[in-house]
Structure 1
Amino acid sequence: MITVNSNPDPKLHAVIFDCDGILVDTEPLHYRAFQEVLTPLGLGHDFETYLENYIGFDDRDAFIYAFKKAGRELAPTTLDTLMEAKTNALEQLILRGVPGFPGVVELVIELLDRGVPMAVASGALRHEVEAFITSLGLNGAFRAIVAADEVKKSKPDPETYLLAIERLTRLPGSKLLDPPNCIAIEDTRAGIRSAKSAGLTVIAVTNSFSLHELAEADMVIGSLSELSYQNMVKLIERRQVQK
């Protein structure tokens, strides 16, 4: 369990991480789990199609999209069954290990040392997110988690990020968080739009998409190993000057 230093920065109020494609390299695992469920139904697809069409969806919206694209009906009870089957398939894959992206642990530890509150805002289910955090050895580092099973609308709707900020604000000793002073770290256009709609400053990482495709973010980097507390503060300062 990691100890949290509660000493919020006057400029950088909070950092909120996406999970899949930012903290851990789980997209190949999600793809394989989806295929285990979709292929027997005649709805399987290749990884390139997954990257182009499915990243950014939560499980519910991904199955809805797959059936809609094929022109097939999807009953609510069938959807629930498919989601459970996909979750079970993913859990088996997670047991084999989940790789973290370069620089993730180091950045989280640096922000902890600086007293910056952190949260995770993810399109994955909560128990999946918790398993990924555990696999990185970062239990206790994130003061709030918002997962797909806790919101009504998935990204690009701002609900996930708005709820993350609300939960951070409600913590004992927390101050009011100004969204432009909070940084979201994302790897998809849907995630960027979700965070921007909630008013946050956004840093995108080209783990899943190209720089051009992530151009709506306030900053685009190639790896979290390029990111530090200092250049996050500088980004906030730059945005304040531009107002």
Structure 2
Amino acid sequence: MSTLSNNHTPESSLAKLAPLEAVLFDIDGTLCDSDPLHYLAFRELLLEIGYNNGNPIDEEFFIKNIAGRSDTDAARNLFPDWDREKAMKFLDDKEALYRKLAPKQLVAVNGLNKICKWVSDRGLKRAAVTNAPRANAELMISILGLTDFFQAVVIGSECERAKPAPDPYLKALKELDASPQHAFVFEDSPSGIKAGVAAGMPVIGLATRNPEKSLLEAGAVFLIKDYEDPKLWMALEELERVEAKLKE
């Protein structure tokens, strides 16, 4: 199983960013393993309306058509014949059900506190960048205890274009006053990885739910299982060594 792209090793992937200014995080699947809750909410509400002849959607369908996409893209995939207003009403109901489930069932990705401490100890700028609605984003950040950690929360639907366009990440860099040459991104979906790459930053892919091949094809510099993954800490240690040399 290969978890490296062809052109980089984990050690070399981040060293070129020295001195590092900022770290940007997606939320769903990146800060927390939320896809199972989204899947549950979609499956329940689609069953209620008799979608797919009354058969529940499976996880493969969810990953292919819904996961990591903006509400607009998900609606287009699910309801190509519906008008926008009707589709968005369904998605609003789904998000409300998700917010009901989240407080009891949302789980942080392993090692999240460790990487957040590394970022804050170094005084780095940080933002959350997501296609989730703002109410969801702020709820998840609050449940995870990160409300005071993030200096900016950028929402795809509040930009001209959501991910996979680079707009949300470019907006985050602007709000943080950070350079893409000195920042990197954590993402778990192909659309999010494409957005980070298009914004000019290396993207570390979290292989939480999506197929590894799809993450690498989207342009991830390397993949990690979670924030305890030795590959991540090897890359960060190499970055720190390069930064120390710059200060000599």
| 1:155 partner SS | coil
1:181 aligns with 2:182: yes
Cα distance in 1 for residues equivalent to 2:121 and 2:192: 27
Structure 1 counterpart of 2:79, one-letter code = F
Structure 1 counterpart of 2:213, one-letter code = H
Task: Check 1:31–1:58 CA distance in 2 against 1; reply closer, same or farther (3 A cut).
Answer: same
The answer for unaligned runs of 5 or more in structure 1 is 1-8, 170-176, 238-243
Task: Check 1:214–1:76 CA distance in 2 against 1; reply closer, same or farther (3 A cut).
Answer: closer
1:110 aligns with 2:118: yes
Cα distance in 2 for residues equivalent to 1:235 and 1:42: 54
1:234 aligns with 2:235: no
Structure 1 counterpart of 2:94, one-letter code = K
Which residue of structure 2 lines up, in the alignment, with residue 190 of structure 1? 191
1:1-150 aligned within 5 A? 11-43=19-51, 44-68=56-80, 73-150=81-158
Which residue of structure 1 lines up, in the alignment, with residue 221 of structure 2? 218
What do you get for the CA RMSD once the two structures are aligned?
2.2
Higher relative CO (Cα under 8 Å, sequence separation at least 6) belongs to 2
How far did residue 225 of structure 1 move? 1.3
Give per-residue Cα distances to partners, 1:26-73, cap 9 Å, x unaligned.
0011111122322223335111211233222022321221112xxxx2
Q: How many residues align?
A: 218
Does the 8 Å CA contact 2:103/2:143 hold for their aligned counterparts? no
How far did residue 232 of structure 1 move? 7.0
Structure 2 counterpart of 1:180, one-letter code = Q
Normalized against structure 1, the TM-score is what?
Answer: 0.82
How far did residue 214 of structure 1 move? 1.7
Cα distance in 2 for residues equivalent to 1:60 and 1:229: 38
Percent identity reads: 29
| 1:118 partner SS | strand
Task: Check 1:186–1:233 CA distance in 2 against 1; reply closer, same or farther (3 A cut).
Answer: farther
Structure 1 segments of 4+ aligned residues over 4 angstroms from their partners? none
| 1:96 partner SS | helix
How far did residue 129 of structure 1 move? 1.1
